[in-house]
Structure 1
Amino acid sequence: MSDFLKHECGIAAVRLRKPLEYYYDRYGTALWGFNKLFLLMEKQHNRGQDGIGIGCTKLGMPLGEPYVFRRRSGERDALSSIFRKEVKAFHKMARKGILDPKSPADIKKRFDFGGEILIGHLRYGTSGDFDEGSCHPYLRRSNWPTRTLMVMGNFNMTNAGELNRVLIERGQHPVFGTDTQTVLEEIGFHLDEAHTSIYHELRDAGVAGTRIPDQISEQLDLERLIRESAAFWDGGYSICGVIGNGDMFVMRDPSGIRPCHVLINDEVIAIASERVPLMTVFEAEQDEVEALDPGAVLTIKSDGGLHRGRFAEPDPFRPCSFERIYFSRGNDPDIYRERKALGAALVPQVVDAIDGKMEHAVFSFIPNTAETAWYGLMDGLRMLRRQQVKDAILDAQSRGGLNEEALDDLIMRNWPRGEKIAHKDIKMRTFIAQEKGRDQLVSHVYDITYGMVGENDALVALDDSIVRGTTLKKSILKILARTSPRKIVVCSTAPQIRYPDCYGIDMSELGKFIAFQAAVNLHRKSGGQAVLDRVYDECRRELAKPYSEMTNRVKGVYEAFTPEEISAEISRMVKPEEIEWDGDVVVVFQTIENLHASIDGPSGDWYFTGDYPTPGGFATVNAAYVRWFDGVGGRSYDLPL
């Protein structure tokens, strides 16, 4: 993706189903679960660069022994750093004789992460501070194991403000800066209520105090607890939590917006945001990994009892299509096929943009995540050319046939040519991301392959999506223009991003979207300021309604223009003014119809269509427009509804 875009976090969890001795005997290490957690997180490192956290809960620890542990870091390279420190600490204790590395019981007692339940989180922050304190898992401690709670997740709650007010109206004093804290406190409140209710029943029945903790643990109903906690949540989420007694849960939002996958076998219950890491780390087949159903909650009791239940009825299935287009690792077989299909679907628009002259075109991609879609584009172009040659040969045969020279010319001419033209310097990109305002450095993020593009060639560059267009204008087009093509065609495998996301992707400020800017420009050029004023009034009226009754009034900004007209304005806007090259820039976007045809099954498309899966989305988009119109920046998630 050319635009820098933070996105959904990643979760990983390992719940061992055997004693530690089993893994030591079979695999030669009692840290089998700890190692698997590291690998699951490493295979999902694409999902978090702002920080990480890991947690461990040990089952059946004697009274007086600690049983819950956590490490977090907001530093760069936090993943390898945290695990390296823990492994170093383990070996240091072994050298000093503090623990016996051949004794699973000793390891469990003395090594903080030598337990049966291990969870990990990779953070891409969309709100709050980006430091250690904002990293998951969040921990709520108590001297009662059945009131101690660790929670982590991949989510945004659109109604976090309302949820916080509920806490305050109960009489609580929450200290919050993110919706994660809100979720932790809500689950914690219902956990406290359940714990206290069971405790009073047992105490009043005369049960001995020493027996009460075990009986509370047995009677805790996790599914009911989650159902009560999530009753008013609005957002996209996959959340995993562990109670101090060893009970565990994982849940997925009713629309299935955020991904969550589970592997269950005799040795382990493992959870991850993506399917392929589970397949790779545990050497599992594709059909052994299941996606958690929308509205479902999987609970594992401390004794290992597994239960599949529901905390909410499923809504229409609307999984985030950006997972397929960009965010998830491309080695998932379905995602790989879909990304190729997205590239192939652009063939008619691309051929039209280059005037059908494939012999005078070079096809490339903007590194690195668009490469798979580029293979699909090239396959589609070759199939098109193959059909053209076939039709020409059949036509020539009907008129007397072709000689060898004409046949060679027909076969070789106009064959699509692919080259890697753009190269990205990852280290430079990272440096610039830390040094805001250094626009003069942006153009050096990319470099080019010289001598591959002729002055009569059109240069076609494939990108995953175009959100803001900033990098296109300031960097990519400037450097691509140095190849001196007659035309540059930039193709997006995603449709025009017109509306904010409020479910985990960091794209919520409406005024930063190049498609929105283009529509506004077209209105102002045609004297349509009255339309923008009207939409503002409509959005304000919507925000006065109960948010369950709101509709998306921002659609009115786009109604007067075709997608092609907006694309043409975007093409004009992103062409750099300060370069000498005078060729044309054409920006081509995927169609909504081709997006859905390329992705297997339902896919959420609210950032393209404005059709949000939850009421909070409509509140967010209307508020985003009001903020833009009033000149107020920032995100529009935490609304005063």
Structure 2
Amino acid sequence: MSDFLTHECGIAAVRLRKPLAYYYDRYGTCLWGMNKLFLLMEKQHNRGQDGTGIGCVKLNMPIGKPYVHRRRGIESDALAQIFRKEVKSFFKMDRKGKLDKTSPESVKENFDFGGEILVGHLRYGTSGDFDEGSCHPYLRRSNWPTRTLMVMGNFNMTNTGDLNHALINRGQHPVFGTDTQTVLEEIGYHLDEAHTNLYHELRDKGVPGAEIPDHISEALDVPGLIAQSAEPWDGGYAICGAIGNGDMFVMRDPRGIRPCHMLITDEVIAFASERVPLMTVFEAEADQVRALDPGSVITIKADGTISDTQFHTPQQYTPCSFEKIYFSRGNDPTIYRERKAMGSALVDQVIGSIGDNFDKTVFSFIPNTAETAYHGMMDGLRLYRRQQVRMQILDGAKDGTLSAEKVDDLILRNWPRGEKIAHKDIKMRTFISQEKGRDQLVSHVYDITYGAVKPGDNLVVLDDSIVRGTTLKKSILKILARTKPSKIVICSTAPQIRYPDCYGIDMSELGKFIAFNATVALHRRAGRQHVLDRVYEECREELKKPSNERKNRVQQVYEAFSADEISAEISRMVYPEDIDWSGEVEVIYQTIENLHASIKGPCGDWYFTGNYPTPGGYSMVNQAYIRWYEGLGGRSYDLL
């Protein structure tokens, strides 16, 4: 994804199944759990670099000793800094005699992250104001362990406004700004209710006060309170929570929009947003790691009992297709195959653009995350060329024109040629990743391999997806044009991104999508402003309806033009300005049909089709159009 786009979040959780002494005896360290948490987070660092947070809950701590701890940070290398500080603190405390690193009991009592439940979060800011206070995990403290709650997740709720009003109507005082706070308070409310009911029941039975906490802890129905809490939620989510008494839960939304995976061994129960980190960190096989079922909550009681409960009836399964296209690490075996398939699916369109001039074409990719799809495209092109050669050899054998020289010419000439053309400066990209003030620097994010492309060649470059087109126009195409190719073809493994997202990816402003802007330009050039005006009025009317009756009126904007016409307009819009080059630029997008053919099983495609999996999506897309039409910015789901 060559455009700057924040997205997703990553979660990691480790629940030790043995006493700390077991890990010290077997692995020589009491920090085995914390080390595993760090590795799980580091292996998912691609999912969030705006902020980091970790938390710990200790089981069976003596009265008077803290049992919940948390650290958060928003430094550019917050993940490394947080763990570095904790490890440094650990050894410093050992040197000063404040703990004994060889004693599991001492470590658990004195080191904040020497507990059995360890959670971590990697964040991209997708809603609300972003600072350290917005980093997960969120913590709701109480002097009752069974009312103390820590929550983190990869999610976005489309109906945060309604959820906040529900809190207000109860008499609460929510702090607006993030849906995380809303989720924390909703679960916390039902946790308080369950705790209070159990307390009164036990007290009225005459149970001694000192014994009541253990009875509450044992009787606490975590799946039940999760089901009550999640009933009004509209969104995509993978949420992990830990209660102060040692109960833990991990839940996934009923449509499976956000990913979550689990591994269970004799030593540990671990969770992560992606499968491969669990396989790598714990040296597990792929079949040992499973995805949480949509609408399910995994509960681990303080005594280690595990349950898998449906908190919501599963809905139509619509996992986010961008996990396949871009977000998840490409070393997952399934995603690797699917990304290669996406690249191969573009072959017919590429050949339609450049013909059979492979000897005058160079193939490459931008950015590095597109490399897997690039290999798929090259495999497809080579297969196409092999089939050509086979037919030519067979034809020559039939008509008697086959010779050794001709065979050599067919085999050695005109094969697809791949080169590493563009290189990204990761540090520069991080430095200028803020939305404002980056235009002057954006052209230096990429550099090129000089001499690999000869003047007059075609240059075909594969990208994961093209969202805004800003980096294409201001940086990539200007750099690629320095090689003086006759034609530059940019291929996107994703279809045209036409509609905003509201389930955890920062793509909610229509005016930032080049496919939308291209379509608007086509309407205005054709004198069809009245279509845009009519859609605006229909969007306003749509928002007056009950949320479950709303439809996507923005789809009408695209009905008058074919995907090829919109792609041609995008090609015109991204053409680099003020450079000494007169070649041709063509932008090619994956078809929606080929995307579905490449991805195994169902995939959520609302970014491309406008068919949202929840009512909140339809509310948001209409609101997004209204804000664009009125010249307003900002995330549309923040206002619903």
Fold equivalence (TM over 0.5): yes
CA distance in 2, matches of 1:455, 1:41: 45
Any idea what the Cα deviations from partners look like across 1:607-635, whole Å, max 9, x if unmatched? 00000011100000000000100111110
Higher mean C-alpha displacement, 7-16 vs 419-428: 419-428
Question: Which residues of 2 match residues 252-291 of structure 1 at below 5 A?
Answer: 252-291=252-291
Question: What amino acid sits opposite 1:127 in the alignment?
Answer: S
CA distance in 1, matches of 2:435, 2:66: 43
SS in 1 for 2:415: coil
Question: What amino acid sits opposite 2:43 in the alignment?
Answer: K
1:603 and 2:620 correspond = no
Residues 222 and 97 of structure 1, relative CA distance in 2, 3 Å threshold: same
Map of 2:84 onto structure 1 = 84
CA distance in 1, matches of 2:7, 2:579: 33
CA distance in 2, matches of 1:438, 1:232: 40
CA distance in 1, matches of 2:499, 2:109: 52
Map of 2:354 onto structure 1 = 354
CA distance in 1, matches of 2:14, 2:200: 34
CA distance in 2, matches of 1:407, 1:32: 62
CA distance in 2, matches of 1:263, 1:138: 24
Question: What amino acid sits opposite 1:296 in the alignment?
Answer: S
Map of 1:148 onto structure 2 = 148
Any idea what the Cα deviations from partners look like across 1:446-502, whole Å, max 9, x if unmatched? 111111212221100100000000000000000100000000000000000000000
CA distance in 2, matches of 1:456, 1:34: 56
Q: What is the percentage of aligned positions where both structures have the same residue?
A: 76
Higher mean C-alpha displacement, 398-407 vs 522-531: 398-407
Question: What amino acid sits opposite 1:154 in the alignment?
Answer: N
Structure 1: tracts of 5 or more residues without a match: none
* Residue pair 1:155, 1:239 contacting (<8 A) in 2 also: yes
CA distance in 2, matches of 1:15, 1:438: 42
Q: What is the Cα-based RMSD across aligned positions, in Å?
A: 0.9
* Residue pair 1:463, 1:491 contacting (<8 A) in 2 also: yes
Map of 1:519 onto structure 2 = 519
Question: What amino acid sits opposite 1:466 in the alignment?
Answer: I
CA distance in 1, matches of 2:196, 2:437: 54
Q: CA deviation at 1:438?
A: 4.0
* Residue pair 1:351, 1:358 contacting (<8 A) in 2 also: no
Map of 1:176 onto structure 2 = 176
Question: What amino acid sits opposite 2:197 in the alignment?
Answer: S
Any idea what the Cα deviations from partners look like across 1:342-364, whole Å, max 9, x if unmatched? 10100000011112311111001
Higher mean C-alpha displacement, 165-174 vs 442-451: 442-451
* Residue pair 1:540, 1:626 contacting (<8 A) in 2 also: yes
Map of 2:410 onto structure 1 = 410
Map of 1:501 onto structure 2 = 501
Q: CA deviation at 1:197?
A: 0.4
SS in 2 for 1:130: coil
Question: What amino acid sits opposite 1:186 in the alignment?
Answer: E
Question: What amino acid sits opposite 2:459 in the alignment?
Answer: L
Question: What amino acid sits opposite 2:29 in the alignment?
Answer: T
* Residue pair 2:9, 2:47 contacting (<8 A) in 1 also: yes
CA distance in 2, matches of 1:431, 1:66: 39
Map of 2:62 onto structure 1 = 62
Q: CA deviation at 1:413?
A: 2.0
Map of 2:126 onto structure 1 = 126
* Residue pair 1:30, 1:107 contacting (<8 A) in 2 also: yes
Question: Which residues of 2 match residues 529-568 of structure 1 at below 5 A?
Answer: 529-568=529-568
CA distance in 2, matches of 1:411, 1:447: 34
Map of 2:481 onto structure 1 = 481
CA distance in 2, matches of 1:635, 1:460: 34
Structure 2: tracts of 5 or more residues without a match: none
* Residue pair 2:508, 2:624 contacting (<8 A) in 1 also: yes
Q: CA deviation at 1:398?
A: 1.0
SS in 1 for 2:432: helix
CA distance in 2, matches of 1:74, 1:47: 15
SS in 1 for 2:18: coil
1:623 and 2:623 correspond = yes
* Residue pair 2:9, 2:154 contacting (<8 A) in 1 also: yes
* Residue pair 2:138, 2:152 contacting (<8 A) in 1 also: yes
Question: What amino acid sits opposite 1:446 in the alignment?
Answer: Y
Higher mean C-alpha displacement, 494-503 vs 171-180: 171-180
Any idea what the Cα deviations from partners look like across 1:385-430, whole Å, max 9, x if unmatched? 0000001111111111411111111122221010111111112222
Q: CA deviation at 1:435?
A: 8.3
CA distance in 2, matches of 1:76, 1:440: 22
Map of 2:222 onto structure 1 = 222
* Residue pair 2:262, 2:271 contacting (<8 A) in 1 also: yes
Question: Which residues of 2 match residues 172-211 of structure 1 at below 5 A?
Answer: 172-211=172-211
Any idea what the Cα deviations from partners look like across 1:361-393, whole Å, max 9, x if unmatched? 100111211111111111000000000000111
Any idea what the Cα deviations from partners look like across 1:113-151, whole Å, max 9, x if unmatched? 000000000001112222211100000000000000000
1:233 and 2:258 correspond = no
Question: What amino acid sits opposite 1:220 in the alignment?
Answer: L
CA distance in 2, matches of 1:596, 1:346: 13
Tell me the TM-score normalised to structure 2 length. Answer: 0.99
Any idea what the Cα deviations from partners look like across 1:573-632, whole Å, max 9, x if unmatched? 000121120111000000001101111111100000000011100000000000100111
1:305 and 2:305 correspond = yes
CA distance in 2, matches of 1:436, 1:157: 26
How many residues align? The count is: 640
CA distance in 2, matches of 1:402, 1:585: 39
Residues 438 and 154 of structure 1, relative CA distance in 2, 3 Å threshold: closer
CA distance in 2, matches of 1:519, 1:333: 37
* Residue pair 1:52, 1:72 contacting (<8 A) in 2 also: yes
Question: What amino acid sits opposite 2:603 in the alignment?
Answer: S
* Residue pair 2:487, 2:584 contacting (<8 A) in 1 also: yes
CA distance in 1, matches of 2:426, 2:115: 37
1:36 and 2:18 correspond = no
CA distance in 2, matches of 1:492, 1:192: 50
* Residue pair 2:13, 2:271 contacting (<8 A) in 1 also: yes
* Residue pair 2:502, 2:617 contacting (<8 A) in 1 also: yes
CA distance in 1, matches of 2:168, 2:75: 33
Any idea what the Cα deviations from partners look like across 1:164-188, whole Å, max 9, x if unmatched? 0000001111123100000000000
Tell me the TM-score normalised to structure 1 length. Answer: 0.99
Question: What amino acid sits opposite 2:236 in the alignment?
Answer: G
Question: What amino acid sits opposite 2:612 in the alignment?
Answer: Y
Map of 1:575 onto structure 2 = 575
CA distance in 2, matches of 1:436, 1:161: 28
Residues 9 and 389 of structure 1, relative CA distance in 2, 3 Å threshold: same
* Residue pair 2:127, 2:638 contacting (<8 A) in 1 also: no
CA distance in 1, matches of 2:122, 2:577: 40
CA distance in 2, matches of 1:588, 1:433: 26
Question: Which residues of 2 match residues 370-389 of structure 1 at below 5 A?
Answer: 370-389=370-389
Map of 2:433 onto structure 1 = 433
CA distance in 1, matches of 2:58, 2:100: 18
CA distance in 2, matches of 1:10, 1:253: 15
* Residue pair 1:74, 1:130 contacting (<8 A) in 2 also: no
CA distance in 1, matches of 2:420, 2:122: 32
SS in 1 for 2:368: coil
Q: CA deviation at 1:434?
A: 4.7
Question: What amino acid sits opposite 1:78 in the alignment?
Answer: A
SS in 1 for 2:126: coil
CA distance in 1, matches of 2:452, 2:45: 34
* Residue pair 2:68, 2:244 contacting (<8 A) in 1 also: yes
Q: CA deviation at 1:432?
A: 2.1
SS in 2 for 1:278: helix
* Residue pair 2:128, 2:638 contacting (<8 A) in 1 also: no
CA distance in 1, matches of 2:500, 2:435: 26
* Residue pair 1:254, 1:315 contacting (<8 A) in 2 also: yes
CA distance in 1, matches of 2:443, 2:175: 43
Map of 2:98 onto structure 1 = 98
* Residue pair 2:340, 2:374 contacting (<8 A) in 1 also: yes
